[in-house]
Every structure is written in C-alpha cells, then in structure tokens.
Structure 1
Amino acid sequence: MLLKTSDAAIAINVTENVIQSWIKKDGLPAEMISGELMINRTDLLEWATERGLKVDPEIFKVNDDENIHMPTLMEAIESGGIHFGVKGNDKETVLRNVVECLNLPDKLDPEFILQVLLTREAMGTTAIGDGIAIPHVRNPIMLRIPKPKIALCFLETPIDFEAFDAKPVNILFTLTSPTVKVHLHLLSRLAFALREKRLRSVLQNQDSKETIMAVFKEIDSSPGRPK
C-alpha cells in the first residue's frame, strides 16, 4: 500500500522534487520508514483529488483476490443507492444518517461504523472540494458483504467539513467493500469520474436518480476510465 516518492512522482507525472516539496509545504501525507519517505497510495489519491490532479490508476492495482468481479461505478451505486434529503445539522448527525442509508447486514453494528467514520474525520477532512466528501477514503471500510456499495447521499443542509476550498459539503460518497482491491478499484474510478464536469453538474443540481445513473453509465464506458 506504500509508494516511494519516486513512484508517486511517476503516478502524478511530476518530478520527485515536486513530491518532496508537497510533503514539506502542502500537506501531502507521508511517513518515514527505514530512513525513506513513503506515501500511502490511498492518501495520494485523496490528496490529489482534492487538488484536481490526475493520478495514474496503475498504482492502485493489487494482487489479492485476482478472480473477484471488479464492479462498475454504476453497479456499486445501484447497490448502495442514491439518497436525497439526508438530514443533520452537524457532522456526527449527518454521518449517523448516512450509516443508516448503507443498509448494512443485521450482524454489523451501525454504531461501530459511525465511530469509524467519526474517527477518520477527526484525523482530517475527507472533503475533496465543490461540496463533495468521500468519508473514510484513507482506510477502507472492509465488511463481509456480498458486494461492494457506494451510497450517494445528498444532504438537506450543507455541513462544514473543513474542506480544502472552504465550501460546505452537501454530497457524500461512502464506499463499503469486501476487499482492498475492490475498494481501490472503485476509489480510482470515482476520482476519475469526479473530474468530469457533466457529473459535477448533475450532482450540484441534484438531478433525478435516472439522470445521475445515466451519467455514471456514460463515464463507465468512456475510453479513458481506469480499468
């Protein structure tokens, strides 16, 4: 899950000096391991997505469960659902209601999932700008579920998530997955999709479920999407 700064530079198509400058001056998360700076792949994608930078999806390929089905965004969102008017006037209440939208199996404790999300937010915002957040992107929510889900939630009241662009959040994507590989696959696809102006437009307008799903279907079939 960790990259050398040289590999991160290749993934974003910049020099290694630029990566090291981002670590020192711009908050790119990194940790020192055996005397060498290392970057978590998911941290890199989150940080780059906040700033509109393209990341090569090849760095998110992992070898676990090679035979598992890699879902499209449309499949994952169909499973997780699109939810309008999610209530809450603060982050905890909103996330509690988002957990309810996940429609988790009875054996999973929703309070535990809520605390996982709140702990992650306490470490740093999951907002990526333009009123959008992806709760718990740095450490995947791995659950024993039959198939991965992305719950797309539109908030009734925009909430301050301490976003990079200072805009309050009113759109949340919450990923739950049975494996790391599927999580990274969906996260890289979602980061790619959110660079598309037509998707941002239908999200900001809170268009119908049918319209939103149609845009995801188009993006899923576009030539430049991550595989």
Structure 2
Amino acid sequence: MILDFDEAIRLLGVPEPTLRRWIRQGKIPCREGKGRYYFIRKEIEKWAQTHHMFLHHDREDAVSRDPGKELDLLGAMRRGGVFFHVEGNTPEDVLRRAVSLAPLPSETDKTLLLEMLLQREALASTGIGEGVAIPHPRYPVEHLPGDALITTCFLDTPVDFRSIDGRPVFVLFLMLSPTTDIHLKLLSRLSFCLRDAAFMAFLRKCDAAEALFDKVKEIQESFDG
C-alpha cells in the first residue's frame, strides 16, 4: 500500500517538520516522484518496529471520553501549568526540570518518563523551529489520570535542541496524552496557535500564565469557529 505525505504523518503521529527532517537526513524509507514524496506502508511499519516506534493504527482508545475535552487545548494547558525561568543548559537539563514541575500523581515514575522523553529526542529533535519545542514520549502515557496535560516552560536561557531552523528553544510545551488520538488532536490545536505570528510574538514576551491562557482561548475560539 502506498502512502502520501499526509497519510504518513497521520500514521507516524509526528509533526510535518519532523517527517521532512527525517526524509532530508535519510532516516526513514521514502520515495520521490513527480516532485512528491510517497511511502510504502510495509516499509514504514518495518522501520517503526525497528525503532520501537508506536504507529497510530496500533492502538485504539479503550476509554470512553468526552470528545470536547479531547480537543480542549486550553484545559490541557491549565492542567499542566505554566512555569517561568526554568533553568537548564541542555535538553536533558530542561526536560528533567519540566518533568519535575509537571503536576503528575505521586506514583508516577518520573525517572522512566524522562528516559522516554530522551529516547524520543534521540530519534529526532522535538524542536519545531522559531524557538519552540514540543517534547513528548513516543508512546501514550497509558496510566495518565484523567485527561491529557501540557506543561508550558519558559526557559531561563535558550537551549539548543537541534531544531530544524537551528534556533535555540526559549519555550517548550511538554505534552503528555493517554492515547495517540488525543495527542494528535491536541498537537493540531497547538500547531494552529504556533502558526499565528501574533501568538509567537506574544510568547516571546509572556510573563503571566493567565495572559497565556487568555490568548490561547482567543485563538481556540477562532479555531472552533
């Protein structure tokens, strides 16, 4: 079965810049014809298995959830919290700090979660450009209580995440979701915000959580139409 570029993104559950970077770096099996990329599904499945990477079709959401909550970017960000002047000189430093700040239950194995995040970074940077990173595990956080959360960390000093545009990261959105489906929906919502030039300009001077929530609410309402 042949997949086009968009179908490969949905199957892999990664942002468009990440897939383009993998193609450019020769990390993923890909064909090109008539100016377009295409993929052989069996090759992608074999590649994903080799890299221990979860594919979107491999798991279904067995938990009944409120569809509105699944799409609630603002709710996920409120649950995750917003933190300023997060210290660290390397991706590992700031990810460790982000995990420690995330409001997770006491029984959560934060050491394991950090390892999962670092493994994901080793596969490909979650720095998407413009000084933003969206770190997340390769697999859903199955035992995450309640709904997904996004912990926002404004870094004390920009950190090199090997982003696609080479710019150091000044803000990261740690995204933890119980299913891939919810992850993809929230990622789509967050990406919509990050494509807004005014929102990006706002992020660079943001110094209050409620101001961030108000801005996200404004954009989310325009998204919902």
TM-score range, shorter-chain basis?
0.7 to 0.9
| CA deviation string 1:132-153 (max 9, x = no partner) | 0011265444433122100010
CA distance in 2, matches of 1:120, 1:204: 26
Does the CA contact (< 8 Å) of 2:91 and 2:159 recur in 1? Answer: yes
Q: What amino acid is the match of 2:24? A: D
Q: Is 1:149 the counterpart of 2:146 in the alignment? A: no
Counterpart for residue 214 of structure 1: 214
Q: Unaligned stretches of 5+ in structure 1?
A: 13-21, 41-58
The alpha-carbon distance between structure 1 residues 99 and 197, as it changes in their structure 2 partners (threshold 3 A), is: same
CA distance in 2, matches of 1:10, 1:160: 28
Does the CA contact (< 8 Å) of 1:145 and 1:177 recur in 2? Answer: no
Q: What amino acid is the match of 2:152? A: L
The alpha-carbon distance between structure 1 residues 28 and 224, as it changes in their structure 2 partners (threshold 3 A), is: farther
Q: Is 1:68 the counterpart of 2:68 in the alignment? A: no
| CA deviation string 1:173-218 (max 9, x = no partner) | 0111222221111111111111111211111112422221111001
Q: What amino acid is the match of 1:5? A: L
Q: What SS does structure 2 have at the residue aligned with 1:221?
A: helix
Q: What amino acid is the match of 1:176? A: L
TM-score for both structures, normalised by structure 2: 0.73
The offset of 1:5, in angstroms, is: 2.5
Q: What SS does structure 2 have at the residue aligned with 1:83?
A: strand
CA distance in 2, matches of 1:28, 1:140: 26
Q: What amino acid is the match of 1:130? A: E
Q: What SS does structure 2 have at the residue aligned with 1:173?
A: strand
> Counterparts of 1:34-53 in structure 2 under 5 Å?
34=42
Q: In terms of mean alpha carbon deviation, does 63-72 or 24-33 score higher? A: 24-33
Counterpart for residue 32 of structure 2: none
Counterpart for residue 26 of structure 1: 24
Q: What amino acid is the match of 2:178? A: P
Does the CA contact (< 8 Å) of 1:143 and 1:177 recur in 2? Answer: no
Does the CA contact (< 8 Å) of 2:3 and 2:41 recur in 1? Answer: no
CA distance in 2, matches of 1:200, 1:23: 22
CA distance in 2, matches of 1:99, 1:23: 26
Does the CA contact (< 8 Å) of 1:77 and 1:152 recur in 2? Answer: yes
Q: Aligned residue pairs: how many?
A: 195
Q: What amino acid is the match of 1:167? A: R
The alpha-carbon distance between structure 1 residues 64 and 159, as it changes in their structure 2 partners (threshold 3 A), is: same
TM-score for both structures, normalised by structure 1: 0.73
CA distance in 1, matches of 2:123, 2:22: 18
| CA deviation string 1:119-163 (max 9, x = no partner) | 111112110001100112654444331221000100111111111
Coordinate RMSD, CA, aligned: 3.2
Q: What SS does structure 1 have at the residue aligned with 2:190?
A: helix
Counterpart for residue 180 of structure 1: 180
Counterpart for residue 103 of structure 2: 103
